[in-house]
Amino acid sequence: MSEYDLTQVTAGLSRRDWDDSHDGTLRFALVGLGWWTQEYVQPVLSELDAVTVTVAVSGTPEKLATAREEWPAIEAAVSYEAFQAGEATDHYDAVYVCTPNATHLEHAEAAADHGKAVLCEKPMEATTERAAAMVDACETAGVPLLVGYRMQTDPAVRTVRDAIADGFLGEPVHVQGHMSQRIGDLFPEGNWRLDPELAGDGASVTDLGIYPLNTTRFLLDAEPVSVRATATSETERFDDVPDEHATFEVTFDDGTVAHCAASQNAAFTAGLEIVGTRGSVRLAPGFFDNETQRLSLVRDGEHHEVTYDPVDQMREEFAYVAHHLLDDGDPEPTGEHGLVDVATIEAVYEAAETDERVDVEW
């Protein structure tokens, strides 16, 4: 008989486990006004007390005009060049960078030069070298650098992390994680994620595989040591990238081994399962927050499964970041944390190309 009350483990799956009181409001400049910013970020921020969007930054004049006309709290809408030159710095406190991966560094460096906190989308850059340069720039300027791993502020994920830390699994042994979508259905006219000049070494691992990778790191508080991988691209749409489909194995410093799969040309699905010596936990679909979630627990032969409505992950992420930047000044995940993922992804592509186990170095 398990000493755990499994129903108590799953209590409060939508409850924040951090003090969300705050003083003041954090003013954000949104750098990059693509579909994610317009559809998933700005609408949420317009409803939060702790955050307001006061500056829009884009290279597209039409998007800037729309922001001026339709965003209620907007005070300035500027080009990338004007942003980097320091225009409108009096109108924002922090920046959210949501542009193609290989352009993150230039925007983060400009924000750091202006003394502004940086929240950068994942992966934080296209190469380890550029990710490390971003960390150095923000450290030199003395500004916080955070990476937008929204799974880490999801209440259900944080609940599972606490249970694992409390010994629910016993000793973690292995992980199964996957995420896939049909990028051609999402972007019929093409997308920068299939352009190595903008995305980095590949498409599926950088954009999707990072979810099981980073969520495993967060849940286990463990770091990747080495990887093995395979990658294939057979469809014309994926001629420029090696990983229409990819699988990779990650060995962590605690001995846990994760087997992950990612595809930009497969059914829309995701999930993560961690198995230990005493129990297991499964999140499905987990990484997608727009459908009913299932959390399954097994401990010493006892089974418990709950379904629940997800929180808006972007809402939780920005509320968390704003609270910590406004009040205690010590939020996570940091740029140093994000750098490890970039190094791991590079190692995955090297392993797939060489068919050899590759050590992760950063």
Per-residue pLDDT reduced to its tens digit, 42-72: 999 988 989 999 999 999 999 999 999 999 8
Across the range 285-309, mean pLDDT stands at: 92
Residues 126, 264: Cα–Cα separation, whole Å:
18
Average of pLDDT values for 148-167? 95
Q: Is residue 239 within 8 Å of residue 250, measured between CB atoms? A: no
Q: Does domain 151-312+331-359 have CATH number 3.10.310.50?
A: no
Beta bridge pairs of residue 249: 228, 259
- Distance in angstroms (rounded) separating the CA atoms of residues 121 and 83: 18
Q: What is the pLDDT of residue 337?
A: 98
**pLDDT above 90 coverage of the chain, percent:** 88
Structure confidence by residue, pLDDT tens digits, 91-128: 999 999 999 999 999 999 999 999 999 999 999 999 99
> Which long-range contacts does 186-192 make (Cβ < 8 Å, 24+ apart)?
192/100
Q: How confident is the model at residue 1 (pLDDT cuts 50, 70, 90)?
A: very low
Calculate mean pLDDT across residues 164-182: 97
**For the domain 26-148, what is the CATH code?**
3.40.50.720
Residue 309: CB atoms within 10 A of its CB come to: 10
Q: What is the pTM of this model?
A: 0.96
Cα separation, 314 vs 309, in Å, equals 15
CB proximity list for 298: less than 8 A, separation 6 or greater: 279, 280, 281, 304
pLDDT at 316: 94
Residue 176 CA to residue 105 CA, distance in Å, equals 32
| Alpha-carbon distance values, 7 to 13, 167, 361 (Å) | 11, 16, 41
Average pLDDT of the chain, as a whole number = 95
Q: Would you kindly state where each structural domain of the chain is located, as residue ranges?
A: 26-148, 151-312+331-359
CA dihedral sign of residues 320, 326, 328, 331: positive
Residue 18 amino acid letter = W
Distance CA 86, CA 244 (A): 40
Model confidence over 74-95: pLDDT tens digits? 999 999 999 999 999 999 999 9
Q: Is 231 helix (H, G, I), strand (E, B) or coil?
A: strand
Pairwise CA distance, residues 118 & 116, whole Å: 6
Share of the chain above pLDDT 70, in %: 98
